[in-house]
Structure 1
Amino acid sequence: MFDDPRRLYFFFDFISHNAWLAWTRVPALAQRHGLQLEPVPVLFAGLLNAHGQKGPAEVPAKNQWMIWNVLRKARQLGIPLAPPHSHPFNPLQPLRLACCGLPPEQRHRLIDALFRATWAQSRPVSEPDTLRAVLAETGLDADTWLSDAAGPGKERLRQNTDAAVAAGVFGVPAMIACNAAGRRELFWGYDDLEYMDLFLQGQDPLGAREDHAAWLQVRPSAQRPR
């Protein structure tokens, strides 16, 4: 899975402000390289559990740093960013909705509307009334797609998250892309978009992976208790 060289896979959870920032840029990046953007909704909490991690919002000092970091980037890039209605919040319903079986263009429009509702409009996207309103604003029938989210959407989200873990995805936003030489690589975080762009241009600063083989041989000599 996630091995089609014609696609740029974008793994996201609406709970992530960095995923919102990346979402505003990744469609143009995919188009520039002639790739089809494939959004993959995943449950961030599921990734954290699978890899034994805490989320940034669960570490107060890290959470405070990330707020300033994201605000700084949004201000510099001219991306609208407003305080979320609450955070962390339960993203299951909007994620299941984002897994719906709409045609790609309509699904991208819905995902964009849900991201904007969360991070540009401070709306409570975990609440059914908000989801109904967003669907209506996007020109979609709320009953049809909320029913889809409550049924097939649950399984699609679970499968997406399990497949992402199997592919080595550990956080959001994450991207998987294949360059012209046929090398498939994972990129993580908004700040990695720059390096993914270089990778797809054939200008990866790392060069040949074989030149760095010694790094893969490093083993721990101490571990902290858990």
Structure 2
Amino acid sequence: MKHITFYLDFISPYAYLAFEKLPAALEGVSHSVTYQPILFAGLLKHHGQLGPAEIPGKREWTYRQVLWQAHEHGIPMQMPSAHPFNPLALLRLAIACGPNRFVCETIFRHAWRGGADAADAARVQALQQQLAPGRDPASDDVKNALKQATNDAIARGLFGVPTFAVDDKLFWGFDALSMLRAYLLGDAWFATTWDAATRPTSALVRPARG
């Protein structure tokens, strides 16, 4: 049995889609999953990048594409009234509860179903009462746990969410689910091509922006 660490942030529509589709995508495959909330913004800051929703044009395309993918895959989804939103309260709530599948499902659906403001204080408070965390989401130990999980993800090589980590391999994105399934089933492609795919050298280096 292979173990998957599913790195996620509730701000990501692709993480929501991947979360909803994961059981069907891996049906019949022996596996276990740990759900690990991390701060996507921490990855972006580390790599000096903007999020898709922070780039004009890409923002609009992202929203259209994720809603199309939800439609295509039969996943209920409505954009929250504000996006990007601050996901810290939701991430800390998940960690305070212990981020199992039920907890993550409840929080993802809070954000991506119904079209309301995912970060609205009253809604988050109601969600906290519903989930009844064993720890205080505002405590220093929970905040530090989220920070440490994000730092550990960066050290592991993550650059985005959703990411599925298995053995020494990282699978990024909703559209990587079929690739993840193939790896878990022992597809021979990974022995011949996974490492070879990274051999080309970069022929172009852009100057750093001042």
Both structures adopt the same fold (TM-score exceeding 0.5) = yes
Is 1:123 the equivalent of 2:116?
yes
Is 1:69 the equivalent of 2:68?
no
Q: Residues 24-58 of structure 1: CA distance to partner in whole angstroms, max 9, x if unpaired?
A: 02244456332221111011110001111111011
Give the CA deviation at 1:128: 3.4
Give the corresponding residue for 1:177.
Answer: 166
Give the CA deviation at 1:194: 1.1
Give the corresponding residue for 1:58.
Answer: 54
Give the CA deviation at 1:135: 3.4
After TM superposition, where is structure 1 displaced by more than 6 Å over at least 4 residues in a row?
none
Give the corresponding residue for 1:181.
Answer: none
Which deviates more from structure 2 when the two are superposed, residues 111-120 or residues 122-131?
122-131
Distance across 1 between alignment mates of 2:122 and 2:57: 34
* Alignment: residue pair count: 209
Amino acid aligned to 2:49: Q
Give the corresponding residue for 1:112.
Answer: 105
Helix, strand or coil: the match of 1:154? helix
Give the corresponding residue for 2:16.
Answer: 20
Helix, strand or coil: the match of 2:77? coil
Query: For structure 2, which runs of at least 5 residues remain unmatched after alignment?
Result: none
Give the corresponding residue for 1:168.
Answer: 157
* Structure 1 residues 193 and 31, CA gap change in structure 2 (3 angstroms): same
Match of 1:43 among 39, 42, 45: 39
Distance across 1 between alignment mates of 2:93 and 2:23: 20
Q: Residues 71-125 of structure 1: CA distance to partner in whole angstroms, max 9, x if unpaired?
A: 11100111011121211111001001111253x6xx3212111100111122333
RMSD over equivalenced CA pairs, Å: 2.3
Distance across 2 between alignment mates of 1:161 and 1:31: 29
Helix, strand or coil: the match of 1:89? coil
Query: Among the aligned pairs, what percent are the same residue?
Result: 35
Distance across 2 between alignment mates of 1:197 and 1:164: 22
- Conserved in 2, the CA contact under 8 Å of 1:30 and 1:36? no
- Conserved in 2, the CA contact under 8 Å of 1:11 and 1:39? yes
Give the corresponding residue for 2:126.
Answer: 133
TM value normalised by structure 1: 0.83
Helix, strand or coil: the match of 2:96? coil
Query: For structure 1, which runs of at least 5 residues remain unmatched after alignment?
Result: 179-183
Distance across 2 between alignment mates of 1:67 and 1:9: 26
